[in-house]
Structure 1
Amino acid sequence: MSFMGKATVAVAALGMAAGSVFGAGTANAAGDLYGAIALGDGWDDFGGGINFSTRADAEAKALELCAADTCTIRASWSNGCLTIVENDEYTAWGVGSTRAESEKDAWANLVEGSPQALLLNVGSSQLAGQLAGGEVVAVHCTDNVR
């Protein structure tokens, strides 16, 4: 089973109580909000933090929930979204100030990392990714994104 196959249900727990794969900070609509995702070397360990008032706090929560010595921050963002996409060969993510921008970035990253999608690239990374069996498996936005 792919990383996302194992993680999708857990990642969907965004903002749940401590111990979930994503931890939530205290939302502050007046200021910047940050998110981060951490992954271990084998992709079996992962964690995330979202809606923190500092990047450092979001990254610290992601590393805490990842809980493996090999975990590193793979993406962090502010006032925006993280989208995770995958096909049978590759998992990729993208960030952006809107859901649409993060999806576009994720599809472009999937096409770059997946030989099958590269062969199908017809000018649209989203179309190429979908033709190669890709799908959006998770989208996480800070609370100040509409």
Structure 2
Amino acid sequence: MSLTRKAALGLVASTTAAMFVGGMGTAHAAGDLYGSMAVGIDGDYYSIGTTWNYEDQGGADAAALEQCGVPSCYVKIRWVNGCAALANRDGTLYTGLGRTKAMAEANAIAASGPDPSPLLVSLGSSEPSSVHIADSQCTGNAG
């Protein structure tokens, strides 16, 4: 799935700790760990909320939506016991999952498709196409 928006990637609101305390829940070492990424548009920029290491998907989703912080936010990707990534190609976000962060990032880039720059240049466009990782994260028990 992709969210189209011809704008530069902007505000990235991510959590700064892998484990949450104070009512947000902590993960059990032997249990499943859940993550979620929510995205929304804030003017000309994307706002992204990323949460991980939650005991249930509902808690991860709710926290990601809160982290995202704009009214247009929605959950873009969910995962359990692994990693997720968002890749931005020319203002469109693509998702990828994997056992490791590198695998998730590679899958998100692959989801964005082949680089259209050679075709665009041959059609007279001077704007290059680029893809970069907008955000990626893993649960604490990822492979």
The residue type equivalent to 1:29 in the other structure is: A
Work out the CA distance in 1 between the residues paired with 2:64 and 2:88.
21
Which structure has the larger Rg?
A: 2
Segments of structure 2 that go 5 or more residues without pairing to the other structure are 1-6, 121-127
Segments of structure 1 that go 5 or more residues without pairing to the other structure are 19-23, 121-130
How many residues in Structure 1 have an aligned counterpart in Structure 2? 126
Given candidates 96, 111, 132, the residue that maps to 1:135 is 132
CA RMSD of aligned residues (A): 3.2
Once the 2 structures are TM-superposed, how far is the Cα of residue 106 of structure 1 from its aligned partner? 0.2
Structure 2 counterpart SS, 1:64: helix
Kept in 1: contact 2:14–2:67 (CA 8 A): no
Where is the helix percentage greater, Structure 1 or Structure 2? 1
Where is the strand percentage greater, Structure 1 or Structure 2? 2
Q: Percent identity?
A: 33
TM-score (ref. length: structure 2): 0.68
1:2 maps to 2:8: yes
TM-score (ref. length: structure 1): 0.66
Q: Which residue of 2 aligns with 1:127?
A: none
Q: Which residue of 2 aligns with 1:124?
A: none
Q: Which has the higher contact order (CA 8 A, sep 6+)?
A: 2
